[in-house]
Amino acid sequence: MTLTRYLSRLFVVRILAVLVAMSALIELVEMLDAMRRLLGPEAHFANVLTFSLLRLPLAMEQLFLLAILVGAVLAFRSLAMNSEMAILRSAGLSPYRLLRSLLPLALVLAALNYVMVDRIAPAAERAFAQWWATVSPDGDDDEDDGKQRTLWLRAGGDIVSVASISDDGRRLGAVVIYRRAASGQLTQRIAADSAAYASGRWTLAGVTITDLGEDGAAAEHQDALPWPEGPSPGNLKDVAHPTERISSSKSAEILEGDRSGVAPTAHYRTIIHKSWRAPLLPLLMILLAMPAAAGGRRIGGMAKSMTLSLLTGLAYLILDGFLSSMSESGAMPPALAIWAAPAIFAALGGAILLYAEE
């Protein structure tokens, strides 16, 4: 128990140091890139502080696994340089038992990684997107050209296009609803001049209903029409400012049709699988860092062992990023793409551990 506490303290100090240093560097680079907006004619120092606070969780979430890898390598290096590894080995502590001593720390890191990936980072990115929309001047982005583009989303089994969404998500302009049969064939087109949310429900105004039957299109006009399948105002506010990160629970709701989304289904399936595997990755990073503990005090051996650990961990991150992109695009099944890299490198790390134990 004393050894577990000592090792945990040794690792935590180095992981935190690496995480803070790398996050600060990333924040500085992002802030320099965004300085034109942060220090505009109507900007003030509070914008810089808000930017830093909202971007910090995102930087930490991106760098957390890398910080565990580098921090673990530095911790193992410290043990080897101070001859502590030699003492532990002579006392009968095998690499397998050393890894087992680090399991309590790995469990804490697993919980932190899951919370950051599935809760903190999505909430921070959502808050940043909504705040950044108020800081960014109208038409400042070249890609927007000062025009608001039509937004496409899913509402239950319907496909919906919306020309504009109010800031509170309770008023919509130029709504078109495409209803489909179970086979996916379009059956009805409902076009409305506007939609308003009041008393817990949506009402379409200036409605034209077109039935797309086999006998041709038949149009019908109505002044108002209830829209019970419409998304909630909060959901529409999220859709108006889409973000890359979203919690696994919201992703599941979108896939089940209980919530509206704008991304392909592969994107939400990828997010769910990433949240499932998040608790396992810190232990994988520690496993891949263990060759650094076998380098001894000799400079050449230490350099080789540290290089092996870092290259193996970085190779995992690169392969995982590539496979995640393949999953997002639908080129690979998410279950295969998201779990392939951890499985491959867990087997590789296990093989290295067994070799070191022999």
Report pLDDT digits (tens) over 140-156. Answer: 444 444 445 788 888 87
Residues of the chain whose pLDDT is less than 50? 138-147, 299
Q: Spell out a b/e string for 104-132, using b for 16 or more CB atoms within 10 Å of the CB, else e.
A: ebbeebbebbbebbbebbbbbbbebbbbb
Q: Tell me what pLDDT residue 142 has.
A: 44
| Distance between CA atoms of residues 265 and 7, nearest Å | 43
**Residue 312 half-sphere exposure, CB side, CA atoms within 13 Å?**
27
8 Å CB contact between 227 and 204: yes
The tally of CA atoms less than 13 A away on the side-chain side of residue 300 is: 0
- pLDDT of 228 reads 87
What secondary structure does DSSP assign to 193-216, as a single string?
EEEEEETTEEEEEEEEEEEEETTE
**What does the pLDDT read at residue 153?**
86
Instruction: Give the pLDDT confidence of 153-204 residue by residue, as tens digits.
Output: 888 778 899 998 888 889 999 999 998 887 778 888 999 999 999 988 999 9
pLDDT of residue 106: 93
* E strand intervals along the chain: 151-155, 158-165, 171-180, 186-198, 201-213, 216-227
Query: How many residues are present in the chain?
Result: 358
pTM score: 0.83
Distance CA 192, CA 72 (A): 59
Placement of tokens 């049969």 in the chain:
181
Specify the pLDDT at position 244.
86
What is the tally of helices (H) and strands (E) in the chain? 13, 6
pLDDT at 290: 87
% of the chain surpassing 70 pLDDT:
89
Which residue bears the tokens 């134990």? Answer: 357
Question: Any idea where the domains of the chain sit in the sequence?
Answer: 2-137+262-357, 157-228
What is the rounded (10 degree) CA torsion for 21, 121, 270, 155?
A: -160
Distance, in Å, from the CA atom of 220 to the CA atom of 214, rounded to the nearest integer, reads 17
- Cβ neighbours, 10 Å, residue 145: 8
Give me the pLDDT at residue 267, please: 92
Distance of alpha carbon 289 from alpha carbon 345, whole angstroms: 12
DSSP state of 184: S
83: which 2 tokens?
Answer: 């001859």
CA 257 remoteness from chain centre: 21
Return the amino acid letter for 110: A
C-alpha closest to that of 129 among 242, 53, 31, 260: 242
Residue 29 token pair: 């680079």
Name the residue type at position 1.
M
